[in-house]
Amino acid sequence: MKNIYLLVFLVALLGCSKEKIQQKQEDLVVKAMTEGQWKVTNFVKNGTDLTSDYSTYAFKFNTNLTVDAINNGTLERSGTWNADANAQTITSLFPGVSSVPVGNLHGTWKITSTTWTSVNATQTVGTEVKILRLDKL
């Protein structure tokens, strides 16, 4: 009977540890995203380089899961963002915006590589393929 209690305790302990590890991963993603502002340094849509469309923009990701699109130092639009460390994705939405360039950032992006100061991501919707790189300012 003691072995059953020990087994249940160990399973519960391991389950908590996994949840704690997952939470730490998510906390690190939030910390990395919310420290400083980000600049689009590469944006390609269906093979067409649109990076210059973002030359005047910076993006500020906030801990309350909002994101600000700042154009020439002025807040142009606020939206929302979320990250999933397990799926290695980030999702952004700027409600009411369909125009470019900010509208091109809607949706869920698959993170292909990341460092503390850069993120490379792709998004495929139907036949449309987008490639994005963000660098910290």
List pLDDT tens digits, range 25-84.
566 667 778 999 999 999 999 999 999 999 999 999 999 999 999 999 999 999 999 988
CATH classification of the domain holding 69: 2.40.128.280
How confident is the model at residue 15, as a pLDDT?
A: 57
Domain with 85 in it: 2-136
DSSP 2: H
15-24, Cβ contacts within 8 angstroms, sequence gap of 24 or more: 22/85, 22/86
Q: How do beta strands 118-125 and 66-71 pair? A: unpaired
Confidence of residue 134 (pLDDT cuts 50, 70, 90): very high
Check: pTM over 0.85? Answer yes or no. Answer: no
